[in-house]
Chains A and B, each alone.
Chain A
Amino acid sequence: MAGIDVGGGHGKRSANHEIPLIPFIDFLLCLVMFLLVTAVWSHMARIEADARVPGPPKDTEQDKIDKDKELHVEMRGDRKFQLVWKEGSTVVNTIDVPRKPVEVGSDVTFPDLAKKIDEEWKSQGAHRSAADKKFDRAVLHVDNSADFGSVIAVLDAIYAPTREFGPTAEKVPAFQVTFASD
């Protein structure tokens, strides 16, 4: 064990001392236990929704944006989702996806919707190259009475398709998403 040895020891009392390590270890173990119990192991993350997409401030940019195809995800009613590809105000294609929620703990997910959106982006997405700095846009139309948990599940499904981006080919979501103002 650790101690202080100053040599000698010929006097009445020895000047050498043992440092009491066992209480020190006990104290450290108590500290570790306290910190482990009180620590908040947070696994928070965020899901993005960009308000810049539908209403950019400059008219020139508005013209440019309107020429791109947009995927409108209609979340109305309990039976189905509707995926609508629009070019400006012109409807290009409409697809119905049955609404089949899958419960994961206390949350819901829509894996069928995620799969369909992924297929749609692979077939009709305009910005798929890693060198392309622009992203395809998705607009989410939500019924006012829908609960936020379902809204996040649909947002999660829209973010399912990923693409490579930049020189490092980093994997990023293929769509930028915003809410429709209706």
Chain B
Amino acid sequence: MSGNKALSRFHQPISVPGRRLLHHVRLNFVKNKVVGGGGRSVNQEIPLIPFIDFLLCIVLFLLASFSATGEIPLDKNVKLPSAQNAVDMLEAPIVAVSGTQILVDGIPAGSTRAIIDAGKLQKIDELDAILKNKRELWKQLKPGVDFPGNVILQVDKRVPALVVKSVFQTAAFAGYPAVSFMVGKLASDE
């Protein structure tokens, strides 16, 4: 020790390395941050719990809307027309009219070919029978309640008006006077 003190009186070209890390950095605030001597650490925790909550909310919303939209069955062969002045859908039996066949809630209920060949408005017997059965079933399930008589026609845009009028008239005679046509929603001009 005494030898070291004696040597320190003179300029030493080689010295013992000490704790001099980052002493050359002139930016004090950077130095403080880097060595962890500042007020706040640069390390940050990502708040994962709120993120998971958010994801769970999205999943629940998508699951809910998934089931809701699945309730409107759309025949792939039917290309619907669009309209601006349309109203919201309601729950009612759906009569799909594609190029060749007529379906009630997916059950075959006649052919359009016979109507086109006849060339005149006519009652469709199978459709009439199925709709009347549905009406009777509804009345048995809800006795004492007035039958609303709603039916929704899902008609391809290329189907001739003769077929549409025949289906419309058959539905009306089967006890469904409140007929609606399913359409796509066009943006309003206003």
Residues of A whose CB lies within 8 Å of any CB of B are: 1-2, 21, 24-25, 28-29, 31-32, 35-36, 38-52, 104-107, 109, 111, 142-149, 151-153, 155-156, 159-160, 162, 173, 179, 181
Bound-state CA distance A156–B52 (Å) is: 46
Are A35 and B179 in touch, CB under 8 angstroms?
no
The verdict on A45 contacting B87 (CB below 8 Å), with A25-B52, A40-B70, A149-B157 known, is yes
Q: List 8 A-B contacts (CB under 8 A).
A: A2-B49, A39-B66, A46-B88, A47-B83, A48-B179, A49-B180, A51-B178, A151-B161
Q: A52 CA to B169 CA in the complex, in Å?
A: 11
Q: Which residues of B contact A40 (CB under 8 A)?
A: 69-70
Inter-chain contact count A-B, CB under 8 Å?
A: 166
A179-B168 in contact given A44-B185, A47-B87, A152-B81 (Cβ < 8 Å): yes
Q: How far is the CA of A51 from the CA of B174 in the complex (A)?
A: 11
Instruction: Evaluate contact between B62 and A39: CB separation under 8 angstroms.
Output: yes
Which residue of the partner chain A has the closest CB to B58?
A: A32
In the complex, which residues of chain A have a beta carbon less than 8 angstroms from the beta carbon of B55?
25, 28-29, 32
Contacts of A151 in B (CB 8 A): 161, 164
Name which residue of chain A comes closest to B121, CB basis: A181
Q: A144-B165, A181-B121 are in contact. Are A46 and B180 (CB under 8 A)?
A: yes
B179 lies within 8 A of A156 (CB): no
The 8 lowest CB-CB distance pairs between A and B, nearest first, are A45-B86, A51-B172, A149-B157, A159-B85, A35-B62, A46-B180, A144-B162, A156-B83
Q: Which residues of B contact A162 (CB under 8 A)?
A: 85
Task: Give the residue among A41, A104, A147, A159 with the most B Cβ atoms within 10 A.
Answer: A147
Tell me the minimal C-beta distance from B112 to chain A in angstroms: 11
Q: Which of B131-175 contact A (CB under 8 A)?
A: 152, 155-162, 164-165, 168-169, 171-172
**Can you list, as one digit per residue, whether each of B60-82 has a CB less than 8 Å from chain A (1) or not (0)?**
00110110011010100001111
Considering the chains assembled together, what is the distance between the CA atoms of A31 and B52 in angstroms? 13
> Binding site of A, secondary structure by majority: helix, strand, loop or mixed?
mixed
Which A residues lie within 8 Å of B85 (CB)?
47, 156, 159-160, 162, 173
B127 at the interface (CB under 8 A from A): no
Q: By the criterion CB–CB under 8 Å, are A35 and B186 in contact?
A: no
Given A28-B52, A46-B90, do A149 and B66 touch, yes or no (CB 8 Å)? Answer: no
B62 touches A32 (CB 8 A): yes
* Interface pair A35/B52, CB less than 8 Å apart: no
Answer yes or no: B84 CB below 8 A from chain A CBs.
Answer: yes
Besides the known contacts A35-B62, A47-B183, A149-B158, 18 further A-B residue pairs in the complex with CB atoms under 8 A apart: A21-B52, A32-B55, A35-B66, A43-B184, A44-B89, A49-B168, A51-B177, A107-B81, A144-B162, A145-B160, A146-B161, A148-B158, A152-B82, A152-B183, A156-B84, A160-B84, A160-B85, A179-B165
CA distance A29 to B62 in the complex (A): 12
Once the chains bind, are A181 and B66 in contact (CB under 8 Å)?
A: no
Q: Which residues of B contact A52 (CB under 8 A)?
A: 177-178
| Closest residue on chain A to residue B48 by CB atoms | A21
**Residue pair A148, B83 in contact (C-beta under 8 Å):** no
Q: Which of B100-128 contact A (CB under 8 A)?
A: 119, 121
- Using known A-B contacts A28-B56, A51-B168, A51-B178, determine if residue A107 contacts B161 with beta carbons closer than 8 Å: no
Task: Give the residues in chain A near B176, CB-CB below 8 Å.
Answer: 51
Nearest-CB residue, chain A, relative to B120: A144
Query: Which of chain B's residues have a CB closer than 8 A to the CB of A42?
Result: 69, 72, 74
